[in-house]
Amino acid sequence: MELIGDVWVNWFEGEENGYNVCEFHEWRKHDFIELLDQVPLIKIGTPLFLYIENDLQDLPPALLEDVRNQSYIRKNNQREVIEYCFIATDGSRHIVVDTLGYTIPIRKSRLIPRQEQLILDKAEKMDLQDYQLPAGYEKKKKYHIMSPDPEWMLGLTRKERQLKQLLLMALDQLYTTKNIEEMRYWYTEWFPKQYKESRRLPFDAAWQALCDGVSQGWSKKHYDVCERMIKGQPYFEKIWELEHGTKVK
């Protein structure tokens, strides 16, 4: 373990998927950015790294004990201890974690490029810490519509990822309604040449086909359907406005 000073972080809270912990080039002015006075760096195996990056489950007790009270932040000229905070790397990637005193990686961040290169250089000379994954952990993570597979977000910008997740939230709400006519409407909006087929499809089959249809990429078609699907729903419209910068038309 090494101690790294003056670490800039941009905390993303409660994110279980690494694609939502944005790289430096996607940071925004209104993000929660802090300067940490000191943070320990640990080198771990790739399976544990992916577990930390893409989940919100308990961290190995030995890891927590090793990093406990090793991090500091300076506030009002006072140096305050952060109980469980660390930078993890597997030698090729990195992530910064703060548990907020709990045992799960509640807040996650990337590093600025200069510090990322620094910790990767240091990792080449560091020993691998052999922390064990929790017993019973399933190495194959199960994704679903509210926690989409990374392949669904491949190549998208931060804005596109956020809007796509909003569209998926709207689809999830659509599923709870079990309204077959509404389902058929949105099915034909996505598949305009399959109107006759929509009349025969049962609700679940139509919903699954629609989910499969929107799963890949992001396009003007995604954008238009998302905007129309959330119209009239204040909570979704607020998310749209915060991400898009304008109100739903």
Burial class of residue 159, CB neighbours in 10 A (0-12, 13-18, 19+): middle
Q: Which residues of the chain have pLDDT under 70?
A: 136, 138-139
* pLDDT at residue 141, rounded to an integer: 79
pLDDT in tens, 210-241: 999 999 999 999 999 999 999 999 999 999 99
Q: Where in the chain are the domains? A: 2-123, 150-244
CA 31/CA 213 separation, integer angstroms: 32
* pLDDT at residue 136, rounded to an integer: 67
Place of tokens 């544990």: 48
* pLDDT at residue 195, rounded to an integer: 86
* pLDDT at residue 1, rounded to an integer: 87
Place of tokens 């890949």: 216
Place of tokens 């506030």: 75
pTM of the model: 0.89
* pLDDT at residue 138, rounded to an integer: 66
**Phi-psi label, residue 136: left if phi above 0, alpha if psi -120 to 50, beta otherwise:** left
C-alpha dist (Å) from residue 232 to 162, 229, 240, 245: 19, 9, 12, 17
* pLDDT at residue 124, rounded to an integer: 93
* pLDDT at residue 196, rounded to an integer: 87
Instruction: Give me the phi and psi of 10, to 5 degrees please.
Output: -125, 100
pLDDT in tens, 135-169: 767 667 788 999 999 999 999 999 999 999 999 99
* pLDDT at residue 247, rounded to an integer: 77
